[in-house]
Amino acid sequence: MKRFLVLLCTILPLAVCAQLQQWTQAEHRQRNYPSSEWYTGFDRRQLRAGEDVQVALRNLEASARNALSESIIVAVDATSRVLIESVQRQADGRRDEVETTGFEQAIQTATTSTLVRTEVRTHHDPRSGMIYAFVAVRRADLSRFYIRQINTDLNRVEIAIGAAEGMVEAGQRMAAERRIEEANNILSAVSFYRSLLIAVDSRACEEHDMQTPRFNELSRTIEQLLISLRRSTLVYVRSSFEFNGAQHDAFQRDPGIFPTVIKRALEQNNVTITANEADADFILTLVTSTSRRSERRADQPHSIDSFFANASGTLFNRRTNRQVATFSERVTAATGQTPELMATRAFNGTELKNAVLEAILPEIRN
């Protein structure tokens, strides 16, 4: 009896080991994981000299999981075309780059989904030095995951749209645009999940599982909001020039330089300058002037003429009916043969422009 127990203890682990290794054989995987019910990924390779077995198995598992993900999106050729084309429509014709990006995003989406209820097996055969990794997930589990994810993400889109509409009412147009863009990105992810759902379950219901009517309605809402918001924030500029007396005035009349500089800079930051104050989201009041900084004197050979170019003003939010920014900036005007050339250079430079933009742009974009 004792000899029988010893023999049993020797044979049983070998039998169990042999059973565990059956999945390394293609015939076993095809028989027990039919493609009509499962998606699978498998990889194997020789263990390298000095390589840590556990690290190697983890890396091989990741490779097998990627293979599984690729099988999800390329097993059905029509679905993979839908995935790529759905991204192409949003990419202004950059086809090659978009195909690569779209495929990579599809792989990432598919890989994330396969973390749900995935069977994972790895094995190291010390005798041959081979390592194996196998992952499998049921089509039915993936289908349930995609349906749940589509609903969750569409809920997120609705919440983002509601928040953006509230921001518009509060006069926060730039913040609303950013929120709508976030919602649009979520909707793009939903598009991938819908396409993957078709791949794993051709019988998925358009109305209830894929939520096509809801998806289309949210797509239209986002498109309309983006069109409205991307007309840009409207700013009306009131400008004037102050004269401080002959000693300080580099100009004899209003040169109109700095208002033009600021308008151009705002337009480069997706702000629209309007000529109609009633249409404006913001009113920018801008007062410019010059003042003498130093004067050339005959008895002081190193003295020079120099001026300050000054800009002050306020920014008023018409939607909230309050003043949201004030500023008073000046820069030195010392380069030029005449006071007028000195001040012209200063008003056209970046230092004064950037100082004013720093004061007003965060409020406009808020």
43-65, pLDDT tens digit by residue?
A: 999 999 999 999 999 999 999 98
Residues of the chain with CATH 3.40.50.10610: 233-365
Cα 309 to Cα 287: distance, rounded to the nearest angstrom: 11
Specify burial of residue 113 (Cβ count, 10 A radius: 0-12, 13-18, 19+). buried
* Residue 44 CB partners (closer than 8 Å, separation 6+): 24, 60, 130, 131, 132, 133
Q: How far apart are alpha carbons 322 and 313 in whole angstroms?
A: 14
Residue 277, pLDDT score: 92
The two three-digit tokens of residue 220, written as one number = 């239209």
Fold for the domain defined by 233-365: Rossmann fold (3.40.50)
Using pLDDT thresholds of 50, 70 and 90, give the confidence band for residue 113: low
Decide if pLDDT at 164 tops 70.
Answer: yes
Taking the C-alpha atoms of residue 277 and residue 116, their distance in angstroms, rounded to an integer, is 56
Min mean pLDDT across 117-121, 194-198, 292-296 is at: 292-296
Q: Are 135 and 40 in contact (CB under 8 A)?
A: yes
Q: For 61-80, what is each residue's pLDDT tens digit?
A: 999 988 888 777 665 444 44
Instruction: Give residue 199's pLDDT.
Output: 80
Helices in the chain by DSSP H: which ranges? Answer: 2-20, 26-32, 53-74, 77-88, 95-113, 139-169, 173-200, 212-229, 257-268, 339-348, 350-365
Cα angle 279, 281, 283 (rounded to 5 degrees) comes to 95
Q: Which residue has the higher pLDDT, 299 or 185?
A: 185
Q: Which amino acid is at 153?
A: D
Per-residue pLDDT band at 92 (split at 50, 70, 90): very low
- Amino acid 48: pLDDT: 93
For residues 261 and 266, give the distance between their C-alpha atoms in angstroms, rounded to a whole number: 9
Q: What is the pLDDT of residues 225-237, one digit of tens each?
A: 888 876 668 899 9
Which comes out higher in pLDDT, residue 296 or 32? 32
Strands 130-138 and 271-273 turn out to be unpaired
Lowest mean pLDDT among 36-45, 97-106, 159-168, 199-208: 97-106
* Predicted confidence band of residue 107 (pLDDT cuts 50, 70, 90): low
Task: pLDDT band for 290, please (50, 70, 90 cuts).
Answer: very high
pLDDT value of position 302: 59
Strand order in the sheet with 306-317: 271-273, 233-241, 282-294, 306-317, 322-333
Maximum distance among all Cα pairs of the chain, rounded to whole angstroms: 123
The reported pTM is 0.57
Average pLDDT rounded to a whole number, residues 75-99: 42
Q: What distances in angstroms separate CA 173 from CA 181, 226, 271, 335, one per listed residue?
A: 12, 11, 11, 40
